[in-house]
Amino acid sequence: MDDVAIIGGGIAGMATAARLQSQGLSTIVLEAHGQPGGCAGFYRRQGFSFDVGATTLVDFEPGGVGGELLRSIGMSPVAGEVLPGYVAWLPDRRVTLYRDSQLWQAERAKMLGDTPAHRQFWRRLDHIAGVFWRASRRGVRLPLRTPTDIARAVRSVGLANLPLSRYLNWTMGDALRAHGLRDDQALVGLLAMLVEDTVHSTVDEAPLINAALGITIRGSGLMRAEGGMRGFWRSFVDHYRRLGGHLRVGCPVRRVTGREGEFLVETRRGTIQARQIVSAVPVELTSRLAPGEVSRRLQPYLSRDADAGGGAVVVFLGVPEEEVDGQEFTHHQLVQQYDAPLGNGNNMFISVSAAGDTASAPGGYRAVMISTHCELARWQGLSPEEYDCLKVEIGTRLIALARRVYPRLGTAAKVCEVGTPRTYERFTHRPQGAVGGVRQMLSNSNQKAIPHELGVPGFWLAGDTTWPGLGTVACVLGSRLVAERVLHRARRWSPASRQELPSGSLGDAYA
> Quick one: three-class SS letters along 246-293?
EEECCCCEEEEECCCCCEEEEECCEEEEEEEEEECCCHHHHHHHCCHH
Q: What is the pLDDT of residue 117?
A: 98
Residues of the chain falling short of pLDDT 50:
496-505, 507-511
Angle between helices 116-137 and 147-157 (to 10 degrees): 130
pLDDT of 21? 98
- pLDDT score for 501: 46
Please state, in angstroms and rounded to a whole number, the distance separating the CA atoms of residues 39 and 464. 10
What's the CATH architecture for 2-34+249-306+438-510?
3-Layer(bba) Sandwich (3.50)
**For 440-472, how does the pLDDT look when each residue is reduced to its tens digit (9 = 90+)?**
999 999 999 999 999 999 999 999 999 998 888
Residue 219: the pLDDT is 67
CB atoms < 10 A from the CB of 177, how many?
A: 14
Rounded Cα distance, 319 and 324, in Å: 8
The residue extents of the domains of the chain are: 2-34+249-306+438-510, 101-217, 308-433
Residue 78 and residue 67: Cα distance in Å, rounded?
Answer: 9
What is the distance between the alpha carbons of residues 416 and 319, in angstroms, rounded to a whole number?
9
Whether 236 contacts 476, CB under 8 Å:
no
Instruction: Please list the residues that pair with 367 across neighbouring strands.
Output: 318
Q: DSSP 3-state assignment of 194?
A: helix
Backbone angles phi, psi at 281, to 5 degrees: -115, 165
Q: Report the top-level CATH class of 308-433.
A: alpha beta
Q: Work out whether the CA dihedral 37, 39, 44, 48 comes out positive or negative.
A: negative
Output the pTM of the full model.
0.93
Q: Tell me how far apart the alpha carbons of residues 234 and 43 are, in angstroms, rounded to a whole number.
A: 13
Model pLDDT, residue 17: 98
DSSP, residue by residue, 453-467: B-S-TTEEE-STTST
